[in-house]
Amino acid sequence: MPPQEPAPAANGAAPAPAPAAAAAAAGGKRRKRGRWAAAAGVGALLVALLAVAVSSRSFPAASSSSRGGDCGCPGTRKYTGMVEDCCCDYETVDAINEEVLHPILQELVTLPFFRYFKVKLWCDCPFWPDDGMCRLRDCSVCECPENEFPEPFKKPYSGLSPDSMICQEGKPQATVDRTLDAKVFKGWIETDNPWTYDDETDNAEMTYVNLQLNPERYTGYTGDSARRIWDSVYKENCPKYPSEEMCQEKKALYKLISGLHSSISVHIAYDYLLDESANLWGHNLPLLYDRVLKYPERVQNLYFTYLFVLRAVTKAADYLEQAEYNTGNPEEDLKTQSLVKQLLYNPKLRSACPLPFDEAKLWQGENGPELKQEIQKQFRNISAIMDCVGCEKCRLWGKLQVLGLGTALKILFSVDGENHLNQSLQLQRNEVIALVNLLNRLSESVNFVHEKGPSIEDVIKQQSSSTVKPVFPI
C-alpha cells in the first residue's frame, strides 16, 4: 500500500470526497429507461447510507448478536484470521474490544487522572518556517482557569477574577495550569524517553488541557501545510520499502504510523462538520470509506497498532497497578485504580488474547542495536514534526498520541527482560496519561470500523455491478 495520501492533517480535517456524476444512460430507445434506472440506483444508495449516517452519535458497544464471527452472516467477515505480525485474530479483537476493553477505557479516560494532559502547544517548528496557526474556531484550544484541576495537579490557589472564569470562546473547553512542580505528584518522576523528541521540560511553557472538552474531530485544517506534515512523516522518516527490502522492524514502524494515521482519519470521519451554517455535526461515512475502508491494509494496520499498544499496557501491568493515581479525590481515585486493574487483569482478555504482540522477535539480528538506534531516531523525528502542525487542537492530539506510541515503544523495547520490567521501568505521569488515552482512541476506531464498515461496504457491493457509480451523501 502506498503512503496514505492525500493525507489529512494530524487530527485535522480531510477534504470531503466530491459526489461522482451519474453514469451515462443507455443509448438508443433505452436511454430514458436507463436514466430512470440510474436515478433509482442513486436514490437507493442515498437512502441506505443516510440510514447508516444518522445512527448513534456515540461510540456504543455493539450488541452481542453482532460479535466476532457470528455477526449475523457467518463466513461473511472481510477481516478474519490472525492479524498480521500479531498473536490475536480479528474476531477475538472485535469481541474483546466491545465486551471488555472499550467500555473500561471509555469510563477510565473521563476520570480526573486521565482527563488532563500536560502539553506545550506553542512551539517553533524545528524543520521549516512556521506556516502560522490555523485561525478556524474549531482549531483552537481554549485555556481556562486552573480551579477545575485536581489539587495535586496545580499550584496553590492565588485567586481568580470573575472575568477569568469565562473561557475565551464562551464555553468551557480546557483548563490550564502553566506551572509544574516535579514533586507535586509523589511516585512519578521526570525521565527521558529515548523514543520521543525531548522538548517537554520547559515547565514555564507547559499547560494542562482537559481532553474531554477538546475532542479529536474535524477542525477544517487542510491544504499544503497539513499535507506537508504527513509527507514528512512518511517519505522522510517512515517510508514504505518494497517487501523484499523491508525488515521486520521497519515494517513494524510503518504499520504503527499507518495504523495511527487510520485511527486519526476514523475520528475525523466520526465527528465531522456536515453543515457549517447549521453547526451540524455527524458521521461522514464517505470519508471513512475513502480514507480507510477502501484500503484493507489501512484497516489491518489499525488493528496491528491497537494490539501493539495493548501489549505494552499489559506488559507494564505490575508497574501500572502499583502506580499512584492521586488527584485529591479519594472516591474518583479508588475508581481509577479499580478500572486500571480491570483493564490489566481481565480474565477474558488474558484467556482470549494473552500475548497481543510478541516483541521478542525483533532486534534479534547482528545489526539489531544499530537498527534500533536508527528507528529510534526516525520516531523522534516524527514526534518533533508534531510541533509543525498548524492547528492547535490537531497539535494537541498529535503530540498526545505520538507520545503514547513512544511510551509503548519504550515499554516494549527500552527494558530488557520480562521478569525485571517493574524494577527497571520508569514512566512519567504524562506518558501513562498519553498511553491510556491512545489505547482508548484506537479502541474507539476499531469499534467504529467494526460497526460501520460492513454496512458501508455492503452498499458499495450492491452497486458494483451497476452502471451507476456510488454517490455518497455528506
pLDDT in tens, 80-89: 999 999 999 9
Share of the chain above pLDDT 90, in %: 37
Question: Quick one: average pLDDT of 365-375?
Answer: 86
Rounded to an integer, what distance in angstroms lies between the CA atom of residue 223 and that of residue 433?
31
Determine which helix (DSSP H) or strand (DSSP E) holds 459, and give its type and residue range. helix 429-463
By the 8 A CB rule, do 189 and 428 touch?
yes
**Would you place residue 464 in the very low, low, confident or very high pLDDT band (cuts 50, 70, 90)?**
low
pLDDT at 68: 38
- Res 12 pLDDT > 60: no
E strand or H helix that includes residue 208: strand 207-210
- Average pLDDT for 406-422: 71
- Crossing angle of helices 368-385 and 392-413, in 10° steps, is 160
219 known member of a binding site: yes
Residue 425's SS3 state is: coil
Mean pLDDT, to the nearest integer, of 55-83? 51
157-169 pLDDT, tens per residue?
232 233 332 322 3
**pLDDT surpasses 50 at 65:** no
pLDDT digits (tens, 9 = 90+) for 176-218: 222 223 332 335 667 778 888 865 555 666 788 888 888 898 8
Average pLDDT over residues 35-44: 46
Q: Where are the domains of the chain?
A: 28-54+88-463
What is the C-alpha separation between 157 and 449, in angstroms, rounded? 45
- List the single range of 70-74, 132-136, 206-210, 314-318 with lowest mean pLDDT: 70-74
pLDDT at residue 132 tops 70: no
According to the annotation, is 230 in a ligand binding site? yes
What are the two backbone dihedrals, phi and then psi, of residue 174, each rounded to the nearest 5 degrees?
A: -160, 130
* CB of 306 closer than 8 Å to CB of 105: no
Residue 291 annotated as binding?
yes
pLDDT band for 120, please (50, 70, 90 cuts).
confident
Q: Rounded to whole angstroms, how far apart are CA atoms 407 and 389?
A: 21
DSSP 313-335: HHHTHHHHHHS---SS-HHHHHH
Predicted TM-score of the model (pTM): 0.74
What is the rounded CA–CA span in Å between residue 139 and residue 179? 24
- Would you give the DSSP letter of residue 22? P
Q: Is 76 exposed, middle or buried (0-12, 13-18, 19+ CB in 10 A)?
A: exposed
Q: What is the pLDDT of residue 129?
A: 63
Residue 261 known to bind ligand: yes
- The b/e string for 350-373 (b: 16+ C-beta within 10 A; e otherwise) is eebbeebbebeebbeeeeeeebbe
**Among 358, 432, 391, CA closest to 223:** 391
Instruction: Give the percent of the chain with pLDDT over 70.
Output: 62
Averaged pLDDT score across all residues of the chain? 73
- 281: cell is 455535526
**Choice among 119-123, 167-171, 305-309 with the minimum mean pLDDT:** 167-171
Residue pair 401/389 in contact (Cβ under 8 Å)? The answer is: no
The more confidently predicted of residues 231 and 50 is 231
Cell numbers for 293: 475502508
User: What is the distance between the alpha carbons of residues 104 and 215, in angstroms, rounded to a whole number?
Assistant: 18
244: confidence class by pLDDT, cuts 50, 70, 90: low
With contact defined as beta carbons under 8 Å apart, do 277 and 437 qualify?
A: no
Catalytic residue among 88, 353, 388, 394: 394
What does the alpha-carbon distance between residue 393 and residue 405 come to, in Å, rounded to a whole number? Answer: 18
- Asked if 394 is an active-site residue, the reply is yes
